[in-house]
Structure 1
Amino acid sequence: MDNNEKKIKILMVDDDEHICQLLALYLERDGFDAEFCHNGESALAKLGTTAYDAVLLDVMMPVMDGFEVLTALRKFSNVPVIMLSARGEPTDKITGLDRGADDYITKPFEPQEITARIRAVLRRSKPLKGKERVDLFNLSVNLSDFTVTLNGAKLDMPPKEIELLYMLAKTPMHVFTREDLLNEIWGEGYSGDPRTVDVHIKRVREKLGDNPHWRLTTVWGVGYKIEVF
């Protein structure tokens, strides 16, 4: 890394001090600037005052668990979040993704995997090339400032949901497969759960509600499209 290049700043949130110290050694060796704290309240305080490039967030913590921290965080920040957990049940992963996590890693893990996942999440968090705006009846999706308005009111959506909606709204009636959406928005070679598309679609659909001129439709066995009436 060039000495003049700004280091990627990572916040680790885990009540296991040993894990934090071990990961900090690996992250700093790979050129990251690593900080850590051991409970959710401290994490939210740090995240409210300091800009981080990504967060490693443990699920099992006292007082506030990782899911509660993530829910609170998403009210004011879209920083990429990778959740860490000893629980690998599909329902836990879906809960994390549904609340806005960008990735989910099950313990035990290799520190090298963590650094690779961080770099992958940071690559995927970059906005789509060619910042544009699309208008579809009462819906406006603007990638220039990452805003979505419906009937003149701004909707609260994180970047990945906005990029997903933009891609669908830009070409109404075109059916996109899950693989199309993963490759374009999450990047080719995405190693996470492919169901993240389904989770994001569900959240977008809930925020859009019912519309008289168009709707976000599931084409069973194929993918998704914006259907215009």
Structure 2
Amino acid sequence: MHRHTTAAPAITILLAATLASTAACRPLAEAASATHPASPSAPSGNVGAARGELAALAVKPEDTGAHYDRDDWPHWDTTHGACDAREDALIAQGRDVRTDARCHPVSGTWVSPYDGVTVTDPGKLDIDHLVPLAEVARSGARGWSRAQREHYANDPAVLVVVTAHANRAKGDQDPAKWLPERDRCGYVAHWIEVKTRYQLTVDQAEHDALAAVLAHCPDGGER
């Protein structure tokens, strides 16, 4: 059992870094439309680092008594210009994304990392919180302020563009109950990275499921 510390200092540092980053972004709605060609894929974790991070995470039962209301986690904040966090994720994780003057993506190509499905209609995509909001609430966030919850809900490092089908299948389940069809190594490494950054806990079944996947992963490789 590892001692769990408050997440407040870490989140304050992350918020400052995010604000500094978004301040440097170029407004995307200066013209009637804009095209954004090649973009990186969805965020994925480092398998080698994840092994050590998992060992350091506090293993505790889920805080099932923590109240969860999605409205308490404000999301899709405007980040710069006319763009909000959802639109930024679609732009960052798509290819040849075209946006209108209000920064709404109207076309492009996205590959959903959970199931490998290629999508060209942004209306058929969801933005998944890698560690779901309800899971965060059960994992040590009971004392978070509204500002801390808002920061997490809009953190680009936890937002993943996926098909609506994959997002519905996942729901708010942790890796003991649900894993993606593709790149499970990258998925669990990213999960561990997020829980580490936000000083969240894992329950025993979750810990064991994460360890089981990592046991079969080459450093930096997919499975």
TM-score normalised by the chain length of structure 1: 0.30
Q: Max radius of gyration: which structure? A: 1
TM-score normalised by the chain length of structure 2: 0.30
Structure richer in strand, relative to its length: 1
- Higher RCO structure, 1 or 2 (CA under 8 Å, sep 6+): 2
